[in-house]
Structure 1
Amino acid sequence: MLNFFKQIEGIYVSVFLLLVLVAVMFLALAVGTVKIPMEQIYAAVISQLQSGTSLDGALKGSVHDIVWQLRLPRIVLAAAVGAGLASSGVIMQAIVKNPLADPYILGISSGASLGATAAILLGIGAFMGENFIGLAAFAGAFAISLLVLFISNLGGRSNSVKLLLAGMALSAVCSAFSSFIVYFANNKEGMQTIAYWMMGSFSGAKWDNLIVIVPIVIVAVLFFWSQSRILNLMLLGDESALTLGTDLHVYRQFYLLISSIIVGFVVYAAGTVGFVGLIVPHVIRMLVGTDHKRLVPVTALAGAIFLVVADTLCRILIPGAELPIGILVAMIGAPCFVYLMVKRTYGFGGN
């Protein structure tokens, strides 16, 4: 079965997964506290597309509100977050040449957490409006990525090992400062807000945010897809790449910044969602191989499908309540990762 997927052209696998994603999104629209027949969903979608941005007349109603104002924005956000985190995981693993890397291992998650903690408990950035917590988290994530690049270039040019060590060090520093703020703030309500934000949620999805996030994720995935040759060379290492006439130093830093932007927007929109960037790339690598020309688009689509399904389960597992997406993803991701660790036939790539 695995060899079958590896032999199929990546474009065919991508098209198949794209169709699966559309089907899963329609199914996700149908289930929830209120179950909606598929024909009503189809009619609401067609009517909205035909009328453009107009919400007047017959389009107003309970079905329209549930589909277009509640469920569809969070489903689209879940797909964008899944695609962004999964593709960023592929890039991070190539950048540091480490199969344990994900979008958060280089300190980006801790930077976002520090920004959110400072915003919630200290009120930093409150002048930016109602979304100031997400904006502060984005600023923290991006600032830490810049610091990782700066520190890794001290005393010589950065490489995969220096990037990884710098990220781990800054992650520890950010976690320490976050704990320091929490300890002295003595704000019970704020601590509950931080805990909920750290678990991740798509319930706050809005079309205004999606207009920015979705294009950024799509453009980033397409860009990384075009960089498949460089990403393949990263798995071989700097010395091998130099013998082939390619210096990976600039590429590595540029890719890290783009990945940090994706993760920053994801954290801004949905909070912290772990394991996606770690697990999905490994599973897809087992199916299609280590060539990034196939790996990048297939992983992005698989990540989108995974989070749409996971978010749907979060809405229906507990009647009358919503399970935080981070909890469910961790419960699924941890056993899968243990399985990958003990599977001897699995290979990361490179030498």
Structure 2
Amino acid sequence: MLDTAPPPARRRGAAHGTTAPAVRTAAWVVALTVVLAASAVAAVGMGTVPISWSDTLHYLHAYVTGDIIAADDVTRYRIIADTRLPRVLLAIVVGAGLSMVGVAVQAMVRNALADPFVLGISSGAAVGATSVILFGTLAALGAAAISFAAFAGALVATVLVYVAARTSQGLSPLRLVLTGTAMAYGFSAITTVMIFVSPRGEDAKSVMFWLLGSLASARWSSLPIAAGVTVCGGLLLAVWSPKLNALVMGDDVASGLGLNAQRFRVYLFVVCAAMTGTLVAIVGAIGFVGLVVPHVTRMLVGADHRRVLAVAPVLGAVFMVWADVFSRTVVAPAELPIGAITAFVGVPTFILLMRARRYTFGSA
């Protein structure tokens, strides 16, 4: 069996037993899960029409059990059941998904600055979404046109990055980062040109809103795909966590531990691309979640990916729920792009992390 726990963690386990890290991780998972549950209930009650905790719990109970709602409560019940609840649940799914992809991508390319969008996938999705918003492409698909076009753009970007980055020796971390960055600039240039030549210049604001991400279009119909891809991808990454530990040590070390690093990196690329493309197609390009949350998680539980992938999705879900709350309440009844909120929080957080002397990427 592959023993791929980071060396510092292994030495600490020898001195204090292997129970302490597991207990600490379990404690963080339980605590964050409680915080997430409370945050979800609070978020469902917050908005342009505030709803008290007691009423929120009553409406949620009625939704789950099918209890009868009084006629005077129907309007507020529908706000929760049809609008806010699917939005909060989608925020949880997106936050968890982007956080797990961030962990995987940082291990895949061995780069502390990597995030789910470093592969250029979100920029490809932006081209597809922009073509629908500005030119009415795929208008026959109705409300699903933007998501479909964005996913198609993400798929095209994934194929192009893979073909351009792959050599006879496989996918190297440096080539993946450089190719993804170059493709991102290229797709961004295409998006910019489309905005300038668009006959409907007033839609440029809609494009910018999508590029920064939003959960405003969250519906029950958008949840199954997002949740299914996130759960399946997350389970795969959790199973692969020992291999991620080996990969982050370098290809030579990974090979010495019995891991085919090049083949495994291809698998990771496909899973991360599928998760990123799906989530971006539904909510737009929300940045900083996949960059900051993995680093904060490592400060809490160490660098072992078995622990990081247990805590990061819950922490990312909490972060996304509150980012969405602020995006729809700060300037209510208007709404800010959620990417602006995540950047506003993520930038100072990342700077503080980089200045923390006790934190080093890849340390346990």
TM-score when normalising by structure 1: 0.92
The equivalent residue for 2:212 is 199
- Alignment deviations for residues 191-232 of structure 1 (CA, whole Å, 9 cap, x no partner): 122111112111111001112211221222122111111110
- Alignment deviations for residues 221-248 of structure 1 (CA, whole Å, 9 cap, x no partner): 1221111111101110111111111111
2:191 aligned residue (167, 175, 178): 178
The equivalent residue for 2:263 is 250
The equivalent residue for 2:165 is 152
CA distance in 2, matches of 1:350, 1:332: 24
The equivalent residue for 1:12 is 27
- Greater shift after overlay, 112-121 or 68-77? 112-121
- What SS does the aligned partner of 1:35 have? coil
Residues 133, 268 of structure 1: 8 Å contact kept = yes
1:324 aligned residue (337, 340, 349): 337
Residues 41, 63 of structure 1: 8 Å contact kept = no
The equivalent residue for 2:5 is none
- Greater shift after overlay, 60-69 or 324-333? 60-69
- Alignment deviations for residues 89-135 of structure 1 (CA, whole Å, 9 cap, x no partner): 00110110000000011111211111112222233322332221121
- What SS does the aligned partner of 2:169 have? coil
Residue 283 (structure 2) pairs with residue 270 (structure 1): yes
- Greater shift after overlay, 326-335 or 341-350? 341-350
Q: Which residue identity does 1:139 align to in structure 2?
A: A
Residues 84, 217 of structure 1: 8 Å contact kept = yes
Residues 170, 263 of structure 2: 8 Å contact kept = no
CA 1:337–1:210: 2 relative to 1, 3 Å: same
1:118 aligned residue (124, 131, 152): 131
CA distance in 1, matches of 2:179, 2:60: 48
The CA deviation at 1:289 is 0.5
Residues 24, 301 of structure 2: 8 Å contact kept = no
Residue correspondence of structure 1 range 105-144 to structure 2 within 5 A: 105-144=118-157
CA 1:201–1:55: 2 relative to 1, 3 Å: farther
- What SS does the aligned partner of 2:357 have? coil
CA distance in 1, matches of 2:188, 2:105: 21
Q: Which runs of 5+ in 1 are unaligned?
A: none
CA RMSD in angstroms, aligned pairs only: 2.3
CA distance in 2, matches of 1:323, 1:171: 24
The equivalent residue for 1:233 is 246
TM-score when normalising by structure 2: 0.89
The CA deviation at 1:60 is 7.1
Q: Which residue identity does 1:8 align to in structure 2?
A: V
- Greater shift after overlay, 219-228 or 93-102? 219-228
2:58 aligned residue (43, 48, 55): 43
The equivalent residue for 2:78 is 65
Q: Which runs of 5+ in 2 are unaligned?
A: 1-11, 13-19
Q: Which residue identity does 2:341 align to in structure 1?
A: L
Quote the sequence identity (%): 36
CA 1:58–1:213: 2 relative to 1, 3 Å: farther
Residues 199, 272 of structure 1: 8 Å contact kept = yes
- What SS does the aligned partner of 1:223 have? helix
CA distance in 2, matches of 1:233, 1:137: 34
- What SS does the aligned partner of 2:143 have? coil
The CA deviation at 1:142 is 2.2
Q: Which residue identity does 2:46 align to in structure 1?
A: V
CA 1:350–1:37: 2 relative to 1, 3 Å: closer
Residue 297 (structure 2) pairs with residue 284 (structure 1): yes
Q: Which residue identity does 2:206 align to in structure 1?
A: T
CA distance in 2, matches of 1:250, 1:274: 28
State the number of aligned residues. Answer: 347
- Alignment deviations for residues 41-66 of structure 1 (CA, whole Å, 9 cap, x no partner): 22222222123xx9998797022112
The CA deviation at 1:298 is 0.6
- What SS does the aligned partner of 2:51 have? coil
